[in-house]
Structure 1
Amino acid sequence: MARQFSSTVQSVERAIAILKSFSQEKPERGVNELSRELGLHKSTVSRLMITLERGGLLSRNLETERYRLGVDLIGMAAQVVSYMDVRQVARPFLRQLAETCQETVNLSVLDAGQIVNLEQFVPPAYQVRNIGWVGRRMCPHCTAAGKVLLAYLAQGELDRILLAGLERFTPHTITDPHGLQQELMQVRKQGYAVSQEELEEGLNVVAAPIYDHTGQVTASVSVAGPAYRVTPELFPELAARLMDATAKISERLGYGKG
């Protein structure tokens, strides 16, 4: 049965369909069979597969002229696997932090210049406004988790994010690139970041980095709560608990064992 494609991103949808057609049962695919399976002209399938090959997403068997998934997909898949590994390793520590701090704890990563929450643990005694943020995307400059991850970016990557502009969310949001860079220097110096009502008024957050086996900062853990509970006076104590937890998570991810 021919597959229906929308006209707006037709070539992309067709390329995705080709990539998804590969499986353990069908590790190699040919132009003719995919043409029949997808209901596309052979020349269209051929052009797309050649393009995917040039991009490293497909690899051609020179003997059979059939295609397999390319090695460049390994690097992409590794990023997803690393997220899943971090989640699995971090969960017990996140749960313990939420219980000991009695505040909401989040695990976050930087993806395409935005912060994404992968996990969240909320102590049952509290129902605060920042519940249900798993999967939510946020600007990094106004969050403690984002500042942690920005602080350890290569300068070129950081510059690209800064050039996109720093949106204001509250009167406390840092919107000056120089001011943000100064704060990121402080994050690197002290090993943790804070956000004082910068994303939402009334919400304070403290965050610390997680390192992977290569020594790169791969994620951050944050403790968030109402400003009347998570006060600046408590930041050092929360930071110490966070850094103890993230050090243990990092160790289990292989950090410091190379």
Structure 2
Amino acid sequence: MVQAVQRAVQILRELASTGPRLGVTELADRLGVAKPTVHALLRTLEAEGLVVQDRDSSKYQLGPDLVSLGNAYLDTQELRTRSLTWADQLATRAGEAVWVAVLTGDHVLVVHHAFRPEGAVQILEVGASIPWNTCALGKAIVAFAPAAEREALLATQQAVLTGASITDPRELARQLEEILRTGYAIEDQESAIGDAGIAAPVFDRSGEVVGAIGIVGPVERLLAETARQDLAVAVRETARNLSRDLGAPRGSSRRAIA
């Protein structure tokens, strides 16, 4: 591993998670690296457009060229490309917003967001990163992940975003078993108060889980007794169709896609 590259990445992550602006001294303290080293790395990142320096405070923040890199990643993400039509159809059918996500570490990254059909103002959530244990998308993916990966994620300290976030590994394991049985996951105000989600896993041509697709919206609409089951069926059917569009063989999910 190249140490300079690793430290440069750590700087970008610190600015992304702790920013928006940090000075050389703050970054040096966070990384445990000498200030001249951090300053040299920042100057290099600045020259490449990955960070910019605020003129008034002399502190650094993320640069505009990161947007191009992020968009390039999304453009090459086959799951996102294949999901565009299916997500729009699900949003129309459910009358709710639809997110498509992949697992990165212990978070899910939203790679596509189809707005709900109504004309109210909505915020694009592409690029949002959410702890896996707090959302239906994350639980749908982890439930069908390889056993070693699933156990490793259950063994780590779980994130807390609301009072409803689940951190008990035994309860999470129980939920994952239920997801394996039903083929879909439920989120009940675990990442944001008042919001809920219903998601199902998506598989590729190798038969491995590559992400999830799901609806998000107000808990009173998604989890109402009269709507919950119908929405779950719609999400699961869409995930099955998207999986087959990606070339997934029948039976990939062992229980949900067959």
TM-score, L = length of structure 2: 0.66
**Matched ranges for 1:1-258 at <5 A:** 10=4, 12=6, 84-125=77-118, 127=120, 131-233=123-225, 234-256=227-249
Deviation per CA, 1:38-70: give whole Å up to 9, x if none.
xxxxxxxxxxxxxxxxxxxxxxxxxxxxxxxxx
TM-score, L = length of structure 1: 0.66
1:128–1:201 CA distance, 2 compared to 1 (3 A): farther
Aligned identity (percent) is: 25
Structure 1, unmatched stretches of 5+, are: 1-7, 15-79
Deviation per CA, 1:143-166: give whole Å up to 9, x if none.
000000110122222232223211
Q: Given that residues 128 and 226 in structure 1 are in contact (C-alpha distance below 8 angstroms), is that contact kept between their aligned partners in structure 2? A: no
AA of the residue aligned to 1:141: N
AA of the residue aligned to 2:228: F
Larger Rg: 1
AA of the residue aligned to 1:132: L
AA of the residue aligned to 2:171: G
Cα deviation, residue 127, structure 1: 4.1
Instruction: Tell me which stretches of 4 or more aligned residues in structure 1 moved more than 6 Å.
Output: 80-83
Deviation per CA, 1:161-202: give whole Å up to 9, x if none.
223211222222111000000000000000000001111110
Aligned residues: 185
Which whole-Å CA distance do the structure 2 matches of 1:138 and 1:229 have between them? 22
AA of the residue aligned to 1:89: R
AA of the residue aligned to 1:239: A
Which whole-Å CA distance do the structure 1 matches of 2:239 and 2:194 have between them? 26
AA of the residue aligned to 2:78: D
Structure 2, unmatched stretches of 5+, are: 9-72, 253-258
Task: Find the residue that maps to 2:126 and give its secondary structure.
Answer: coil
